[in-house]
């Protein structure tokens, strides 16, 4: 292949991804407007939309899913897990109301896509993944893409990451049946917790919680959702 041919294919590939990202942003904006009666947010913050536009989602999906990398839907990433629908990633990021430099705990690294979006918002991200293969793959992928402010470890998400607490935000990308009791104490006063709660295969609700000065959580329902279940790390004896 000549240099001219290679350069031409690279340019066409870049244009293809740029067009796909633009279509996705329009779809996210439409979904945001349609769900405003639930969320109270008819539009997402411009910086959140820029973050979505900046993250190369094609780098976070399986090569076989490259053609649908920018479809507004979840995709399988192996180990029974998924990369979330981009609209949900954008909404949950927006609900955190992050300022640059804030610290975020993420429960459920998966492929690292949500982590990358949070990093694009200027957050320092501490992400816990229960599947060791996914944790290591995400760590390498994020490092390769230059997301140095994302820290990934293998562990039980129900425990959080107490050594790095307190956090300005906590985001949970799988659904427990109840709010894990270890997470609220790791949230700073005024911090935001965004989490889906509900049984597998049944109604789940996305909640936005704000920690009050007295340590309680002000909780608000945001949107009916469908997430994979949040599972505990198996004990060594099992």
Query: For residue 17, what pLDDT band results from cuts at 50, 70 and 90?
Result: confident
Residue of higher predicted confidence among 7 and 186: 186
> By percentage, how much of the chain surpasses pLDDT 70?
92
How many CA atoms within 13 Å lie on the side-chain side of 227? 28
Residue 194 lies in a domain: yes
Residue 144 lies in a domain: yes
Residue 236 lies in a domain: no
Residue 59 lies in a domain: yes
Residue 112 lies in a domain: yes
The question of whether 93 is a catalytic residue gets the answer no
User: In the predicted model, is pLDDT for residue 55 greater than 70?
Assistant: yes
User: In the predicted model, is pLDDT for residue 27 greater than 70?
Assistant: yes
How far apart CA 186 and CA 168 sit, in angstroms, is 9
pLDDT of 234 reads 59
Which three-class secondary structure state does DSSP give residue 209? strand
When the pLDDT of each residue in the chain is averaged and rounded to a whole number, the result is 92
User: In the predicted model, is pLDDT for residue 35 greater than 60?
Assistant: yes
How far apart CA 91 and CA 106 sit, in angstroms, is 15
Per-residue b or e along 177-212, where b marks 16 or more CB atoms closer than 10 Å to that residue's CB: eebbeebbebbeeebbbbbbbbeeeeebebbbbbbe
- The active-site residue, picked from 2, 37, 64, 84, is 84
Q: Which of 206, 192, 184 is nearest to 84 (CA)?
A: 206
Which three-class secondary structure state does DSSP give residue 121? coil
pLDDT of 236 reads 45
Strand ranges, E, within 130-166: 150-154
How far apart CA 194 and CA 174 sit, in angstroms, is 11
What are the Cα distances from residue 61, in Å, to 68, 82, 113, 158? 9, 9, 9, 26
Q: How many folded domains does the chain comprise? A: 1
Residue 24 lies in a domain: yes
Residue 231 lies in a domain: no
pLDDT tens per residue, range 117-145: 999 999 999 999 999 999 999 999 999 99
User: In the predicted model, is pLDDT for residue 1 greater than 50?
Assistant: no
Residue 232 lies in a domain: no
Range of the domain at 109: 3-225
- Identify the CATH number of the domain in which residue 191 sits: 3.40.50.150
pTM of the model: 0.91
User: In the predicted model, is pLDDT for residue 10 greater than 70?
Assistant: no
Query: For residue 92, what pLDDT band results from cuts at 50, 70 and 90?
Result: very high
Taking residues 52-71, what's their average pLDDT?
94
């Amino acid at each position: 292949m000549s240099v001219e041919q290679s350069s031409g294919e690279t340019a066409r590939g870049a244009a293809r991804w740029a067009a796909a990202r633009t279509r996705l942003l329009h779809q996210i904006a439409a979904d945001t407007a349609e769900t405003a009666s639930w969320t109270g947010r008819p539009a997402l913050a411009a910086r959140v939309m820029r973050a979505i536009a900046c993250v190369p989602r094609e780098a976070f999906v399986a090569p076989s899913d490259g053609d649908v990398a920018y479809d507004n839907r979840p995709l399988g990433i192996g180990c029974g897990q998924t990369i979330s629908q981009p609209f949900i990633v954008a909404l949950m990021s927006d609900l955190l109301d992050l300022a640059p430099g804030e610290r975020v705990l993420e429960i459920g690294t998966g492929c690292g896509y949500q982590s990358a979006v949070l990093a694009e918002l200027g957050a320092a991200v501490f992400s816990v993944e229960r599947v060791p293969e996914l944790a290591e793959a995400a760590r390498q992928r994020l490092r390769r893409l230059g997301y140095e402010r994302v820290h990934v470890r293998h562990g039980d998400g129900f425990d959080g990451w107490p050594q790095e607490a307190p956090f300005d935000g906590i985001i949970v990308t799988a659904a427990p049946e109840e709010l894990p009791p270890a997470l609220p104490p790791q949230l700073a006063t005024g911090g935001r917790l965004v989490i889906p709660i509900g049984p597998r295969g049944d109604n789940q609700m996305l909640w936005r919680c704000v920690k009050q000065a007295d340590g309680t959580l002000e909780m608000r329902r945001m949107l009916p959702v469908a997430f994979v279940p949040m599972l505990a790390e198996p004990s060594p004896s099992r």
